[in-house]
Every structure is written in structure tokens, then in C-alpha cells.
Amino acid sequence: MKQVNLILFIFAIFKFVFGGCIDPNSSDHGCICKAGYYGPSQDQNSSSQCTQCPSGTFTVSSTNTIQDCEICVDANAINNKLTPPVCFCKAGFYGDASSNCKNCPLGTTSAQSTSTSTITVCNQCIDDNAYNTGGQNPFCLCKTGYQGTALFAGSCMQCSDNNQNAPGCLGQVNNSANQNQSAKVNENNLYLYILIALFFIIQIIFIIWVVKKYRSTLQDITKYKEIMRASQQELISLKQIIITNQSCQTQIINANQPIQINQNDIQILQKNDSQAIEEQSLSQQTIQMIKNCNDDIQKNQN
């Protein structure tokens, strides 16, 4: 450390006696960094020195930071304002942005490229109605249905009846008409397809409705049949009761011919009225027969 300080002391004496700056990239006027360099010079800070701006960038005055190297050496380049700063060729140019950005071929253009790029970036056209061939030798041609040079914006004009014989338009007018007619046909076909699809959808909905209606009708018919079947069973049971009742009455009458018995007497006995039975003076055989008939009638009712 003492040796470094000694060297600086000697340089200071040399500067005082003979003039000049210690840092070789500093100017003689105040020993600040020259244009194109940044940072404090060695004369201003013994632990620093003037550093050259990144390739392609430049600064015209003394600066302490690299961000001030914002000027591009090539006039057709632009600074990206990053750290460290880098220059790119502008849109419409290609090449080395540090010193040699070239114009894209006439009629072609490019987006902002990288710091170094080839002619292949010139893959766009100035005229919107032109297309780029691309590759190592890019150039632009007017699109189908247009004619012109394609060298500048608006140079490709649409083919019409007025210029149908111009180069690039021969047969294009009729083709355009055919394309329009074809577009109309396709549009009409689209509407037809939509109508057909709607028709089938309606048919499907109708079929589903008919099936549901048919199932509902079948269910109603089944319920009706069950009701009719139950009614028939009740009628059969009622008929059996009536027949049994009539049969019992006939048997009682036949078994007791000498005894005068009427319908009222049988009803009294069917009610199991013991006092009334005794008053009627019926035989035990007749009474037992009536009881058996009552049991049969109750069984049929159950």
C-alpha cells in the first residue's frame, strides 16, 4: 500500500511539474473521462479509471455511469435503454448495429432487430397489399387481384374493369367475380345447413314428446284395467254372496216343508236373535242350517 501511495505521489509531482493526466482515457481539461468513456478517472479516484462505452454506444460528455452511454454510433440504430445499453438497428434496417445498419431492399422492411442481424429480417412489405418472398434475397410482389410495383405504400392497386389489362391483372377481374360468386354460394349453403340442422332438431324434439305421451297413455290404460279388474272381482264376490244367500234360503225352505216360514223369519234368524228364534218355534235342524249359511256368507264377504 505504501508503494502505491508512493507511485501516486510521484505521478502527482510529475503532473504538477510537467502537467498532464494520469488516466490515459481522460482529457487534459480537468482530467475527466473523454467522450465515449464513463466513470471517474484515475485522477479523480485512484481506485477507478475511465471505461469505454459498450460497442455501438457513445457518450459526448463525461459521465459516471454506464447508463449514460445512450447514444448509438450508427445513426440508423436505436438504444434499448437497458443495462448495459445495447443498440439495435431500427425498423427497416439490418446489419451490425455497432457501426453498420443497412437499409432493407426497396419495398421491404423489418421490425426492430437485434444488435446483429442478417438481411432475412427484411421479411415484411411496406405495402399492405403485397407479400414478401423472404429468404436471402427478399423482395415484395403485389398480391393476387392487385397490380403495381410493390415498392412503396399504396403502389399495389386493386384490379378492376379500368385496369384489367394491366400486368398482373389479366384474368384477375373475372377471378374476383368468381370468388365473390363462390363466397355467396358458400354463404347460401351455410344457411341451408343451418335450416336442415334446425329441422332435425325439431323432429327429434317431436319424437321425444310423442314417446313420452305414448308412455303416459299406456300407464293410464294399465291403471284403468286394474280398476276394471278390481271392480269385476267385487261383482263376482257380490254375486257369490247373493247365490249363497239364495241357496241357503232354498235349503231351509225345503228342509221345513211342514213349517210355514217367510223371508222375515230368515232375516231374524240371520241376525242371531235368540228370543225371536224361540218365538218362531223353528226346528233345531233349520236353525243350524241358517247358521251355516251365515258363516258361508261371511266367508264370501271376506
pLDDT in tens, 177-202: 555 566 676 777 888 889 999 999 99
> Quick one: average pLDDT of 156-184?
62
Q: Given a cut of 90, is residue 207 above it in pLDDT?
A: yes
pLDDT at position 301 is: 56
Number of H helices, E strands in the chain: 5, 14
Mean pLDDT of 95-116: 84
Lowest mean pLDDT among 23-32, 145-154, 160-169: 160-169
**Quick one: average pLDDT of 31-45?**
84
More confident residue, 128 or 8: 128
The proportion of the chain whose per-residue pLDDT surpasses 70, expressed as a percent, equals 65
Query: Higher confidence at residue 148 or residue 267?
Result: 148
Strand ranges for 19-62 from DSSP E = 37-38, 51-52, 57-58
The alpha carbon torsion through 281, 283, 284, 289 (nearest 10 deg) reads -110
Is residue 153's pLDDT more than 70?
Answer: yes
pLDDT(268) > 90? no
177 versus 58: which is more confidently predicted?
A: 58
Looking at the DSSP assignment, which residues form a beta bridge with residue 248?
A: none
Mean pLDDT, residues 21-29 taken together? 81
Q: What is the pLDDT of residue 47?
A: 81
Distance in angstroms (rounded) separating the CA atoms of residues 255 and 251 = 6
Q: Torsions phi, psi of 92, nearest 5?
A: 95, 0
Query: Does the pLDDT at position 259 exceed 50?
Result: no
pLDDT at 285 over 50: yes
Q: How far is it, in rounded angstroms, from Cα 30 to Cα 62? A: 11
Residue 144 and residue 123 in contact, taking contact as beta carbons nearer than 8 Å: no
Measured distance CA(137)–CA(120) in Å, rounded: 8
The CA R_g of the chain, rounded to the nearest whole Å, is 60
The yes-or-no verdict on residue 6 having pLDDT over 80 is no
pLDDT at residue 17, rounded to an integer: 45
- Cα distance between the two ends of the chain: 130
Which of 20-29, 149-158, 240-249 has the lowest average pLDDT? 240-249
> Tell me, what's the pLDDT at 142?
92
Average pLDDT of the chain to the nearest whole number: 75
Q: In the chain, what percentage of residues exceed pLDDT 90? A: 13
DSSP 131-170: EE--TTS--EEEPTTEEE--SSTT-EEE--TTSTTSTTTT
Average pLDDT estimate for 21-26: 84
pLDDT for residue 226? 86
Summarize pLDDT for 212-234 with one digit per residue, the tens.
888 888 888 888 888 888 888 88
Sign of CA dihedral 65, 66, 67, 71: positive
Structure confidence at residue 168 (pLDDT) = 61
